[in-house]
Amino acid sequence: MPKGELSNMVKQTELKKQEIIDEMTWNDKVDASEIQVKIDDGKVELSGTVGSFMERREAEMDAWLVSGVRNVKNNITVDLTEGITYPSDEELKQRIEKVLIWDATLNSLKIEVSVNNGIVSLEGTVDSFWKISFTESKVHGVSGVVGIINKLAAAPEESVADEMIAKDIMDAIERKLLISPDDVDVKVKNGVVNLEGMVTSWSAWREAYNSAENTIGVLDINDNIIISP
């Protein structure tokens, strides 16, 4: 590679890295002072520490929202702020259970919560696939959480034919702004959706994934969509 091209590539990489740092610094939900960013060919690696699990999640979203990002590996750890009293594992478990009980969309009786050194495990079933990630999101902002292991499974009350699930997903994709049915290949077997294809941004990927995630009858999703800016 000519020296000039290499120099320009290094410069563009540094500019993209700075954009990610700027996005996290701008976001008032994140203290980015202890976060390190590496980027190579659109693949981002985040490391360092933050004071809460919600900050960890927000930092990852900030990286995804920067144009040209193809992948984000989040190695940020949660280091609870010194001088603040955090709940014990049992207290944290009870707080999370209350959060889930008060949500009208969830049947918390089918969700089992356990906590070990601030790491929350969610097990059991929900009646729609989208509620797996939704339940996890309810835990993000609970003080004292340092990690989440989500083992929830979708168990719809009624089954839907694979052909109908695939059609509903493709119809949803057709209504979206950033993607079209030509971008994504959808196959469904026994309620498990396989997504393949190529999109130009995380936002476009999110539209494709949401189209499957929010469809009635979906049990699981194998996501093989490639982001290629």
Match domain 162-227 to its CATH number in 2.40.10.10, 1.10.1060.10, 3.30.1340.30, 3.40.50.1220: 3.30.1340.30
Using the structure block, give the residue that is written with the tokens 């120099």. Answer: 7
* CATH no. of 3-78: 3.30.1340
- Domain positions in the chain are 3-78, 89-154, 162-227
What SS3 class is residue 229? coil
CATH topology of 3-78 equal to that of 162-227? Answer: yes
Which residues of the chain are modeled with pLDDT < 50?
A: none
pLDDT at 6: 54
* Residue 197 confidence (pLDDT): 97
Among the listed residues 20, 26, 114, 128, the one whose alpha carbon sits nearest the alpha carbon of residue 76 = 20
Which residue, 89, 91, 56, 87, is CA-closest to 73? Answer: 56
pLDDT value at position 82? 74
SS3 category, 103:
coil
Residue 119: in which H helix or E strand, if any?
A: strand 119-126
The CA distance from 80 to 178, in Å, is: 38
DSSP labels for 166-224? HHHHHHHHHT-SS--TTTEEEEEETTEEEEEEEESSHHHHHHHHHHHHTSTT--EEEEE
Q: How far apart are CA 227 and CA 65, in angstroms?
A: 12
Farthest-apart Cα atoms in the chain, separation: 63
Q: For domain 89-154, give the CATH number.
A: 3.30.1340.30
